[in-house]
Amino acid sequence: MKVVADICVIPMGVGVSVSEYVAVCQTIFTEANLNPQLHGYGTNVEGEWDEVMAALKRCHEKIHAMGSPRISTSIRLGTRTDREQTIADKLDSVNSNLTGI
């Protein structure tokens, strides 16, 4: 099953800046071919459900290995059965409605 996910991984106990950890997850999502799209408070990814979850698990494993004793992750997931839809499709749909505004 295909899924679009909005993922926010927050390493805890590592100080204020977490960009180093965000970069690690971004690399993992890229290597998994999940078309990651970084935004201000997380990353959007898309792919097969099991592949997305496996990549997220690798993020947790790597961040723990980097020294974070605790991680809090928020995930929003969207699936469809009527048709396939990519992140780009969703953005294009909204942007097409903005042209008349």
The CATH number assigned to the domain holding 56 equals: 3.30.70.930
Spatial distance between the Cα atoms of 1 and 9, rounded to a whole number of angstroms: 23
pLDDT greater than 70 at residue 101: no
Determine the average pLDDT of the residues in 5-27. Answer: 95
List the structure tokens of 34: 């999940």
Structural domain span for residue 10: 2-98
pLDDT in tens, 19-72: 999 999 999 999 999 999 999 999 999 999 999 999 999 999 999 999 999 999
| 96 vs 44, higher pLDDT | 44
Distance CA 22, CA 28 (A): 10
Q: pTM (2 decimals)? A: 0.89
Instruction: Give the total number of structural domains in the chain.
Output: 1
